[in-house]
Chains A and B, each alone.
Chain A
Amino acid sequence: MPILEHLWIIIALPLAGAALNGLLGKNWSKALVNSVGIGSVSLAFLSVLEAIREFSLLPAGQLSFFKNYFNWMAAGSFKVDFALQMDHLTIVMLLVVTFVSLLVHIYSTGYMAHEEGYYRFFAYLNLFVFFMLTLVLAANIVLMFVGWEGVGLCSYLLIGFWFLKQSAISAGKKAFITTRIGDFGFTVGILLLFWTFGSVDFGTVFMKAANMPAESATQAGVLTWICLLLFAGAIGKSAQLPLYVWLPDAMEGPTPVSALIHAATMVTAGVYMVARMHALFSRAPIAMFVVAAVGAITAFYAATIGLVQTDIKKVLAYSTVSQLGYMFLGCGVGAYAAGIFHLMTHAFFKGLLFLAAGSVIHAMGGEQDMRNMGGLRKQIPVTFWTMFIATLAIAGIPGFAGFFSKDEILDAAGSGADAHITLWLLGLAGAGLTSFYMFRLIFLTFFGKPRFDEHKVHVHESPRSMTVPLMVLALLSIVGGWFAAPHLIGKTDYFEAFLHPVFAAYGVPAGIEQGASLAGAAGEAGGISPSPAMELLHALTGPPVVLAIIGLLVAWWFYIRRPDAPKKLAASVHGLYKLLLDKYYVDEIYAAAIIRPFLWISTNVLWHAVDERVIDGTVNGVASVAREVGGQARELQSGNARSYATWVVIGALGFSVLMLGVWMVR
């Protein structure tokens, strides 16, 4: 079993690509940079496929493949190995990461064709893939943390890719620092985890956790604290309230980066982490509720901001924040498989939305404001149709990928074992808003009359290298959810069944039932079993679908039927409109409450007082004492031989007196 035994090959390939392009690529031709960049990722993708084939040949009882390559560090009882593992959850993530990365790499050859630092871009992208795969394959939480921080680094590098642009630099720093706040919690969580279990290996920790009883829902125990601290890292990385502020700004980076890192893969690392740690989370009801609540509130909150944004990428950014909220809602109510399912479909349709938005921006010659677009449908048909499919998918229109995954999450939140009616309502409202703002985006961009000067802007469809990835992703945005389709008529949800071994491995205490809908599907056979047609009808007319269609219609009415209506409405509820347009003033509040006091303390206390007075004062004081003493002492060096002689005599006399004294004391 060559690849499965050598899982490290999967992560080594993109690293090699990054090293080659980054160190040598400067003077290479674009074709060579392309072949190294794309080649390494496609080889990684093929290795993943081969590894999955080999994994499927394992004996049936074996749930995961684990391989320890070497001991990374050991200090007393603290031991970290460079160990990788593969199970069904990893397989899903590996496929999503390598495949979407591959498409984004191909797309970038077109999108970035005229950019300075072409080789640098591909080196960073490859490096990102390397770290993301490390994060996914890691068999212990410390190695996972390496990947976790590494993708943060690549995110920073790529947001600030245009490093001559002040706003891009600031956005990069903002992303890095904001996620760092969450990562502080993550680090403390790792320490607490080790302190509690005496190990950082997932296998050992989960085995020990499986023997622990579930904690009560009213009192926080150690598991709850571990989970909450780890979740703090997820809040930062996956841009949830209150640390989501970096993600909209991250749109300063090139659009392929937004698609790959800030929509499809990196930001979902938090969701993956929560799902990976399900053995702990499932035993910590308070932490579970926090996860679900943060997810649901973020899903709704970010959707409201998305309603009024005018920058096409900003709308998508808030939409990403909102969709990540759904994934956490799913995990928080125990439907981990649904959360991961949404992660996967979201990677397809949101990656597609960003890439298509990039294609629109490309066609418009850099314009990002939707108010200056309109009527592009005929001119860039491929972009339009693919983006339209992605919009149908994200809005949750039946038949498209997003419908299945979002429906499962809302189903679990509304009627699962761990349902919270308030969170369900928030999620539903968010679904309606999602549908509205996404169709608003489509209508503003592609329909109506052009609102730009058609003589100045030469609208043109993007090259093949960009449209082909769009079409592939569009296909996946349609079929990507069909694994779950049989569930609609009461049969097995194949996606959930695929992940079931992972989430059922560590005996879950009663009261928190995982894979609620799977269990439901099985359980209904014994009880009252509605006919498949009734089930289908029920699913297709459920509240999420109704709300999605209402959102569509409202958007249509506002932006196609009565194009002057939005302005009137905005004027009539001006206060609310302004609040949403200015994103609830969260950035301003953070600036006033945290950043400015911090800056003041740093400037006046740490810099002017501590650094300048205390530290510099000490150092300069020592130096000036030395200089003073030296200045005095050098006067002795008069150049006058007689004075030297005098000093010699004085010295000799002094020494003699000393000896005499010593002799007399004796």
Chain B
Amino acid sequence: MNVVPVAYYLVLSAVLFGLGVVAFVFKRNIITILLAIELMLNAVNLAFVAFARAWGQTDGLVFVFFVIVVAAAESAVGLAIVIRIYQNRQTLNIERVNLLKF
């Protein structure tokens, strides 16, 4: 049975991560940025799972569970913040939310 080599997964993971980074840096909408973060997290998850399968160990899988849990919490808190920001400032443009400086 042919096994897909681990490098393929890694390339896919890297591409997804790179897309996430680019979106994270260049997008202005806060919801999009949150999505970009999710994308990066899942790219990492993919890499973990691939390695866990390649080495035949469960450590990577355990990590993935943790990441999923943290990502869920982060989404909940992040979306709550997004709602509050919108209620207060009637915008989701991140460049307009810049009072906290110097």
* Bitwise interface map of A from 619 to 650 toward B, beta carbon under 8 Å scored 1, else 0: 00000000000000010011111100110010
The answer to whether A638 touches B101, judged by C-beta atoms less than 8 angstroms apart, is yes
The answer to whether B25 touches A639, judged by C-beta atoms less than 8 angstroms apart, is no
A640–B21 Cα distance when bound, in Å, is 17
Interface residues on A, range: 10 to 19
B100 at the interface (CB under 8 A from A): yes
A50–B100 Cα distance when bound, in Å, is 83
The answer to whether B98 touches A639, judged by C-beta atoms less than 8 angstroms apart, is yes
A638, A645, A649, most chain B CB atoms within 10 A: A645
Given contacts A642-B25, A645-B25, contact A634 B95 (CB under 8 A): no
The answer to whether B95 touches A642, judged by C-beta atoms less than 8 angstroms apart, is yes
Name the prevailing secondary structure of the A interface residues.
helix
The answer to whether B100 touches A639, judged by C-beta atoms less than 8 angstroms apart, is yes
A604–B25 Cα distance when bound, in Å, is 60
Residue of A nearest to B99 (CB): A639
* Number of A-B residue pairs with CB-CB distance less than 8 Å in the complex they form: 29
Min Cβ gap B16→A in Å is 15
Chain A contacts for B24, CB-based, 8 A? 645, 649
Min Cβ gap A554→B in Å is 89
* Bitwise interface map of B from 72 to 96 toward A, beta carbon under 8 Å scored 1, else 0: 0000000000000000000000110
B55 at the interface (CB under 8 A from A): no
Chain B contacts for A640, CB-based, 8 A? 94-95, 98, 101
A642–B95 Cα distance when bound, in Å, is 8
Chain B contacts for A634, CB-based, 8 A? 102
Residue of B nearest to A639 (CB): B101
* Bitwise interface map of A from 23 to 44 toward B, beta carbon under 8 Å scored 1, else 0: 0000000000000000000000
Given contacts A642-B25, A646-B25, A649-B25, contact A637 B102 (CB under 8 A): yes
A639–B97 Cα distance when bound, in Å, is 8
Chain B contacts for A646, CB-based, 8 A? 25
Residue of B nearest to A640 (CB): B98
A470–B84 Cα distance when bound, in Å, is 94
Chain A contacts for B95, CB-based, 8 A? 640, 642
Chain B residues 22-54 with CB under 8 Å of chain A are 24-25, 28, 33
A388–B24 Cα distance when bound, in Å, is 107
A526–B90 Cα distance when bound, in Å, is 127
The answer to whether A642 touches B102, judged by C-beta atoms less than 8 angstroms apart, is no
The answer to whether B98 touches A638, judged by C-beta atoms less than 8 angstroms apart, is yes
The answer to whether A642 touches B99, judged by C-beta atoms less than 8 angstroms apart, is no
Min Cβ gap B40→A in Å is 10
Min Cβ gap B59→A in Å is 20
The answer to whether B94 touches A642, judged by C-beta atoms less than 8 angstroms apart, is yes
The answer to whether A649 touches B21, judged by C-beta atoms less than 8 angstroms apart, is yes
Q: A641-B98, A645-B24 are in contact. List 4 more A-B contacts (CB 8 A).
A: A638-B101, A639-B98, A639-B101, A642-B95
